[in-house]
Structure 1
Amino acid sequence: MRTLKNTIVLLSIFSLFGCMEYKEVELVEVKQVAVRVFSMKEIRLVVYMQIHNPNSYKIAITEADMELFVKGKKIGNAKLDNIIVLPKNSNEVYEALVFTPMNEMQTNAIPIILSVIGQPTVPVHVKGYVKGKVKGVAKKIPVEFTDNVRLKR
């Protein structure tokens, strides 16, 4: 009897997730990047980006691990420092807090970063993954983005 109950519960859960249609979430535009911390320990950035979630359910972005390139040169690995919740059927600008620990930076990172200070836009390339969660189920999604990004003064 207990096995039958467990089987019914599992089938109910699988049928619930089987009904959820997933549509691709789109990174529409990186609006702006600002440096929050620039120290010998780490670099912390705030990235304002417009994301379109066409799904009929909210999605939480809980983790990211990406390689960050500026002017075609690798700076280091960037990680997400906050959780971003995308409401259902939304197209909004979100604030992502991103950091790169100094031990994960390339040796040429600081000269490259210093060379872009004062420029209105900077060519940025990001490659890696983000992890999204929907109703407790997590999925890694590959991300690749290249654009000229406006720096906040």
Structure 2
Amino acid sequence: MAPSILETLALLLSASATFLTTGAGANPLPNPSSNSGTKAKSCVNGPPATDSSPGSLPIADYSLVAPAANLNWTSYTVKKSWWDKHFLSGPHYMPYTHHTDPYGAFKCQYTCNAAGDKCKSYFLWYTDINNANEHINCVLFDDIIDPSIFVLGGNSTIGAGGYNRRCQSSTA
């Protein structure tokens, strides 16, 4: 029997978290135009979240970021202090359920792209799981997401990952 979409997403998030936490790939680059006390990162060098194979939902301009693999979380969110500092817009309500995943992440990339150079990353989570009101939320941020900023979320949510803008020269 083929794995469910949720199982596939969990496997993808786990593999990506392992990849990112081992230092192989998604290296943040400083944003020289940032005028804050700390240099914001404008993009990462890393693999696309999904490729552009036939029949796929390509998320080629963003790399997936998730909690460290050893945490084995399903429900997670972004630290409030980081969220407050880097919030750009959202949550953008999208009527997709975890059964239609990864369509929400695919659609959210267009919301981030529409924000232009200001949007460096986005985070998604499902809420009201398995009831008529289930949906996905998409929040945009002005800095890339580091795996260390993820914290446990509530029981009625499923974290669907963070997505960091890839540098134009990324070919991974």
TM over 0.5: no
Q: Which has the higher helix share?
A: 2
Q: Which has the higher strand share?
A: 1
Question: Shorter-chain TM-score: what band?
Answer: under 0.3
Mark the structure with the bigger radius of gyration.
Answer: 1
**Higher RCO (CA-CA < 8 Å; seq separation 6+):** 2
